[in-house]
Amino acid sequence: MQELVLGSTSPFRRELLEKLGLPFSAVAPDVDETRREDESPQALVLRLAEAKARAVAAAHPEALVIGSDQVACVDEQILGKPGNREKAIAQLESMSGKTVCFHTGLCLCNAATGKTQVVCDDFRVHFRQLGHEQIVRYVDKEEPFGCAGSFKSEGLGIALFRKLEGDDPNSLVGLPLIQLVSMLDREGIRLP
């Protein structure tokens, strides 16, 4: 089997990829993630996922390289990672009662052939109406400062939602495994 490399240092993406039971290494991609003027969220994540995969593929010329990127949007505005308590609270207050769309770009690059497969997987989170105290309790408990959208769906963040909508719940965390399994299959890696 070709070497499999995850072009990411995200512990969440590593944990998801481990579910497939394949040996892999993880490498930080060196990519400028600045959004281009008038670039849609979907175009951004597709471009960055491919750029990350190609950047890592350059250093691993025989590998299959996985690149992924994700943005969260509410009311057509991209939400960043809050970075601190105050911004996390404000971000969650702005999402109360609304739907947040997570766009996840995924690229599998066969470094040996130069062939890439690139898709955007969308996942929607419908938030409950949340009071300020609920939000503060949540933020203080989970400290989701490094998470786009200010929540961890795999933890207590699930209590913030009214409904989840999408084809692959792994997309919400940042790595659409259903799509990835299909991509790997096209490269001759059969799972399970």
Active site residues: 69
Separation of alpha carbons 102 and 16, rounded Å: 17
Separation of alpha carbons 44 and 49, rounded Å: 8
CB 130 within 8 A of CB 160: yes
CB 50 within 8 A of CB 42: no
The DSSP bridge partners found for residue 144 are: none
